[in-house]
């Protein structure tokens, strides 16, 4: 349902991946699910739900626009990927990667999306991606095309990075240098996790971790967060040791024990400059709150900071729960949209 609010709510169809993978819902069904949740914007992964990708025929464009009209929603964002490791022993050259990135940007334009989530080189920090993703040099080459087509490149700042991490700055600088303001920051709520979600506990236990230890660490994280003090794993490490962690625990703990939310103050300060936001979530607690991200605080910061644009539901709990059965993504997103509307005062 279209509104003229400053902060609008969308859904990334990524949230419905199991429905699509297992053929419960096709692209139209996923759009219907998003519209039915009360969202007004659609983010689409062309690589997932446009079966003719990497081509987009006029017939598909017509169908797409028809779907937007039928479901009373608008296209918001298309996700770009940087598949540089295209072959076993050979990678795309910078020129080739530029060509592919252009393909995503043109596709976004064809589908009416004003934003492309660009997979920039510092998306998840440095040192994890096996290849150089879309770096500053590539973005600089893409800017004229984006300016011509009016497509904004959103730099998704995903945990472990944050929107104020200086590694994203060179991208903004190059846009300023060229006088082409077509690259901007995108927040992903993964940066605001104050503990790990219980969605993952089951899977970790099935992989051999000790349930009691996971709950103990998670509860310590929550206690610290709600007491307003930083969580320092080293302070509870001796207690964990007494619980006899096994090898799986020892492998998992350094990764999940790192959680601490980025600053809400900084988020508020940056809010008016953000070009897109991912409302990441994994699961809810008994009170209907997201169980590891403080949505009221995060949304308050965005609202008070004057964010204008879309926050799109990005449900990721499916991946940690679907190994033992069906995860009702549609229901998760529905609740998530209702929660966000609550936080933003849209229900009153």
Angstrom distance (rounded) from CA 317 to CA 309: 25
Angstrom distance (rounded) from CA 170 to CA 206: 42
* Residue 37 contact partner, candidates other proteins, Mn ion, none, CB within 5 to 8 A by sort of partner: other proteins
Q: Does 278 bind Mn ion (CB under 5 A)?
A: yes
CB 185 to other proteins: min, Å: 17
Nearer Cβ to other proteins, position 20 or 225? 20
> Of 184-192, 195-203, 213-221, 261-269, which segment contacts Mn ion by CB under 5 A?
184-192
Within 10 Å of residue 297's Cβ, how many Cβ atoms? 16
**What single DSSP character describes residue 344?**
T
Q: Which residue is nearest to Mn ion (CB)?
A: 278
* Residue 26 contact partner, candidates other proteins, Mn ion, none, CB within 5 to 8 A by sort of partner: other proteins
CB-CB contact of 216 with 240 (8 Å): yes
Angstrom distance (rounded) from CA 108 to CA 296: 32
Nearer Cβ to Mn ion, position 140 or 316? 316
CB-CB contact of 246 with 214 (8 Å): no
Nearer Cβ to other proteins, position 57 or 272? 57
* Residue 278 contact partner, candidates other proteins, Mn ion, none, CB within 5 to 8 A by sort of partner: Mn ion
Length of the chain: 348
Q: Does 188 bind Mn ion (CB under 5 A)?
A: yes
* Residue 83 contact partner, candidates Mn ion, other proteins, none, CB within 5 to 8 A by sort of partner: other proteins
Burial (Cβ within 10 Å: 0-12, 13-18, ≥19) of residue 203: middle
CB 244 to other proteins: min, Å: 28
Angstrom distance (rounded) from CA 283 to CA 318: 9
**What single DSSP character describes residue 193?**
B
> Of 42-50, 59-67, 241-249, 307-315, which segment contacts Mn ion by CB under 5 A?
307-315
Q: Which residues pair with 281 in a beta bridge?
A: 315
Q: Does 120 bind Mn ion (CB under 5 A)?
A: no
Angstrom distance (rounded) from CA 57 to CA 339: 37
* Residue 53 contact partner, candidates other proteins, Mn ion, none, CB within 5 to 8 A by sort of partner: other proteins
Q: Does 80 bind Mn ion (CB under 5 A)?
A: no
Please report, as ranges, the residues that interact with other proteins according to CB under 8 A.
Answer: 1-2, 14, 17, 19-26, 29-30, 32-33, 35-37, 45, 47-49, 51, 53-55, 69-72, 81-90, 100, 119, 123-124, 128-131, 133, 319, 322-323, 328, 330-331, 334
Nearer Cβ to other proteins, position 44 or 253? 44
CB 123 to other proteins: min, Å: 6
CB-CB contact of 83 with 92 (8 Å): yes
CB-CB contact of 116 with 151 (8 Å): yes
CB-CB contact of 34 with 13 (8 Å): yes
Q: What residues make contact with Mn ion under the rule CB under 5 A? A: 188, 278, 314
């Amino acid at each position: 349902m279209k509104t003229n609010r400053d902060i609008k709510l969308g859904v990334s169809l990524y949230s419905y991946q199991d429905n699509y993978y297992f053929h419960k819902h096709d692209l139209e069904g996923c759009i219907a699910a998003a519209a039915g949740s009360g969202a007004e914007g659609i983010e689409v992964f062309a690589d997932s739900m446009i079966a003719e990708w990497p081509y987009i025929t006029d017939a598909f464009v017509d169908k797409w626009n028809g779907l937007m009209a039928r479901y009373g929603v608008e296209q918001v964002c298309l996700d770009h990927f940087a598949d540089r490791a295209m072959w076993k022993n050979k990678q795309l050259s910078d020129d080739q990667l530029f060509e592919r990135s252009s393909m995503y940007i043109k596709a976004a334009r064809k589908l009416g999306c004003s934003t492309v989530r660009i997979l920039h080189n510092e998306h998840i920090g440095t040192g994890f991606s096996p290849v150089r993703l879309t770096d500053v040099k590539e973005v600089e080459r893409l800017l004229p095309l984006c300016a011509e087509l009016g497509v904004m490149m959103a730099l998704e700042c995903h945990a472990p990075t944050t929107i104020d991490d200086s590694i994203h700055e060179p991208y903004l600088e190059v846009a300023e240098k060229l006088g082409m303001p077509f690259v901007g920051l995108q927040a992903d709520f993964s940066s605001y996790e104050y503990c790990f979600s219980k969605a993952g506990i089951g899977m970790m236990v099935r992989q051999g971790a000790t349930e009691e230890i996971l709950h103990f660490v998670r509860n310590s994280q929550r206690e610290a967060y709600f007491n307003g003090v930083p969580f320092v794993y080293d302070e509870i490490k001796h207690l964990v040791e007494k619980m006899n962690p096994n090898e799986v625990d020892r492998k998992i703990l350094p990764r999940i024990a790192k959680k601490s939310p980025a600053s809400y103050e900084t988020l508020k300060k940056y809010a008016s400059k953000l070009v897109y936001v991912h409302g990441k979530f994994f699961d809810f607690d008994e009170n209907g709150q997201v169980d590891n991200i403080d949505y009221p605080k995060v949304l308050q910061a965005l609202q008070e900071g004057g964010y204008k644009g879309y926050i799109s539901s990005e449900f990721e709990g499916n991946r940690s729960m679907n190994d033992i059965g069906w995860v009702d993504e549609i229901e998760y997103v529905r609740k998530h949209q209702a929660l966000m509307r609550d936080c933003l005062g849209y229900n009153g």
